[in-house]
Amino acid sequence: MATSDNLLEAILETAARLPDQVFIDAAEAGIVRYGELDTLTGRLAAVLQRHGVETGDRVAMQVEKSPLNLLLFHACLRIGAACLPLNTGYTDHELAYFIGDAEPRMLVCDPSRRDGLAALDAARGLAIHTLDGKGQGSLAEALAQTDEPAPLVARKADDLAAICYTSGTTGRSKGAMLTHGNLASNAATLRELWGFSAADRLLHALPIYHVHGLFVASNTAALAGATLLFLPRFDVDTVIERLPRATSMMGVPTFYTRLLDDPRFTGELVRHMRLFISGSAPLLEETFEAFRERTGHAILERYGMTETGMNTSNPLVGERKCGTVGPALPGVSVRVRGDGGAPAARGEAGVLEVRGPNVFSGYWRMPEKTAGEFTDDGFFRTGDIARIDEDGYVSIVGRDKDMIISGGLNVYPREVEACIDAMEGIGESAVIGVPHADFGEGVVAVVTAARGHAAPDEAEVIKAARRDLAAFKIPKRVMVVESLPRNSMGKVQKNLLRETYASLFGN
Ligand code: MLC
Ligand code: AMP
């Protein structure tokens, strides 16, 4: 019986029952069995402690996906340190902000980034270890030299387990503080709801620097004693090759559209599969229908956020309604508020609010920002526009926040605009998302020339943006206009721009 609310303790309970079962099968990158989890996480935790990481500290990780990367998250849980997963695409410029804000005790990065980040350790007393996608680096070397496992530290449900940064529509990126209770309750609910068991082999092609791959997929599988078929990234060839061994798969909509684009992806290939789950971005009805026609499987769509983990899900057994994200999870309350904060009538659209054990404890060192996002009765304002039907199924119909979701990754126009506006020769810019067959939405920048300057050059703008911004945020196109359309209040009319460029990517 678990003696504390430490999420790793719950995972190790499952592990103790299934010592020979494979937890992570990463093919040539190695295999980790459930029976090894206690010792491995203990030894890795001992390495962290030897470098000064204590309970309550933060450990930042910006590393390529590998089994050791996932175990590093578990090692943090073990000693009550909060892990700070960071997109591998973030530039040094972006990284410096997260390090400055979260003040981690340790950063684990790819060996190729080590030199560029050298200034950080000197300036902040930060211990830096390296780890590459093959599981090699100074962290692996230190692990090999460590025999004595660090004991597991008891945690309460409201103790911090992770800080996940999510950009804001205004201002700085915010670190969403997720607790052991948030992660454990959500994983236990999803295991039950989606019927995960030790018989499952979950095809895991998601990155593990976001909640989808790190928490939803990995924690749910680990609590169930399932096997993760761990791929370094989503690659159609490898996915098609490994699907015959899988029972289930989780992905963003781009995974499913890319599979459908490949003639080798047939109903025969996936007849044995139990479950396909989609989330992180809207699944188009045409994708749902084409998938069902090709394979006979109805993709199960669910809805969540970094701040909340999963909130709603279509059912495992029962109707999966296309175009909806299903009813609220057990224990989670959802409601829709119309204009002025009054409850919306059933079927009417408004801002979606959620409350439950999955909802984060607040933004790191931003108490005012946190207070502003919660209602007096404890509901979190998601910023998504939704409606709820007579059966309690939620449909996400829009966003109250100026955010683009590209291939399941969020891009905040304001951040890209600030970067472009600072460039020589640019007057102003407006960044929008328009339909894109592969990424769902494609980032487009509409720019004007600064007074007295020639029209900006598309390639130059893109090249300059790359210096500061991760590749997924870089506009796929830069359109030059004489002036941006504005309303009578002087606000840029992005809806007009979205209409103008709706077919830019040939949709
Ligand atoms: C990569 N690129 C992207 C991109 N991913 N551009 C826009 N949007 C993206 N998502 C860039 C690359 O850097 C490259 O640029 C160019 O686009 C082509 O890359 P690619 O080879 O096609 O990309 P690929 O490596 O295949 O990645 C695409 C992807 C990946 C869809 C497989 O982005 C992915 O795994 N997305 C999942 C993200 C995720 O896990 N989200 C969950 C968030 S949690 P260049 O210029 O370098 O050539 C969340 C909560 C919830 O939202 O509910 O789950
Ligand atoms: P993130 O901040 O990366 O966690 O992204 C969370 C956002 O992704 C949500 O607020 C929604 O806007 C969006 N999202 C997640 N799942 C879905 C879904 N199934 N349908 C539509 N939008 C989704």
pLDDT (tens digit per residue) in 194-222:
999 999 999 999 999 999 999 999 999 99
Q: Best mutation site among 186, 190, 280, 397 for ligand 2, i.e. most ligand atoms within 8 A of its Cβ?
A: 280
- Per-residue model confidence (pLDDT) at position 312: 99
pLDDT at 169 over 80: no
Strands 174-179, 160-166: parallel, antiparallel or unpaired by DSSP?
Answer: antiparallel
Q: Collapse the DSSP code of 397 into the 3-class scheme (helix H, G, I; strand E, B; otherwise coil) and give the result.
A: strand
How many CB atoms neighbour CB 29 within 10 A?
A: 17
Nearest CA to ligand 2 atom 12: 384
Q: Please state, for a pLDDT cut of 70, what percent of the chain lies above it.
A: 98
Q: What's the rounded mean pLDDT across residues 37-51?
A: 98
pLDDT at 123 over 90: no
Compute, in angstroms, the gap from residue 407 CA to the centroid of ligand 1.
Answer: 5
Compute, in angstroms, the gap from residue 90 CA to the centroid of ligand 1.
Answer: 12
Q: What is the pTM of this model?
A: 0.97
Compute, in angstroms, the gap from residue 252 CA to the centroid of ligand 1.
Answer: 10
Joined tokens for residue 121: 């350790």
Q: CB of 210 closer than 6 A to ligand 1?
A: yes
Q: Provide the residue type at 466 as one letter.
A: R
Q: CB of 433 closer than 6 A to ligand 1?
A: no
* CA–CA gap between residue 442 and residue 439 (Å, rounded): 6
Compute, in angstroms, the gap from residue 458 CA to the centroid of ligand 1.
Answer: 22
Q: What is the pLDDT of residues 292-302, one digit of tens each?
A: 999 999 999 99
Nearest CA to ligand 1 atom 21: 235
- Per-residue model confidence (pLDDT) at position 170: 62
Length of the chain: 507
pLDDT at 31 over 80: yes
Q: CB of 409 closer than 6 A to ligand 1?
A: yes
The pLDDT mean for the chain works out to: 96
pLDDT at 25 over 90: yes
Q: Best mutation site among 409, 466, 469, 473 for ligand 1, i.e. most ligand atoms within 8 A of its Cβ?
A: 409
- Per-residue model confidence (pLDDT) at position 454: 97
Joined tokens for residue 417: 């605009």
Q: CB of 276 closer than 6 A to ligand 1?
A: no
Compute, in angstroms, the gap from residue 399 CA to the centroid of ligand 2.
Answer: 9
Residues near 417 by beta carbon (within 8 Å), at least 6 away in sequence: 429, 430, 431, 445
* CA–CA gap between residue 265 and residue 276 (Å, rounded): 14
Q: What is the pLDDT of residues 340-356, one digit of tens each?
A: 889 999 999 999 999 99
Residue that the structure tokens 């025969």 belong to? 268
Q: CB of 314 closer than 6 A to ligand 2?
A: no
Joined tokens for residue 375: 């209602």
Give the closest ligand to the alpha carbon of residue 307: 2
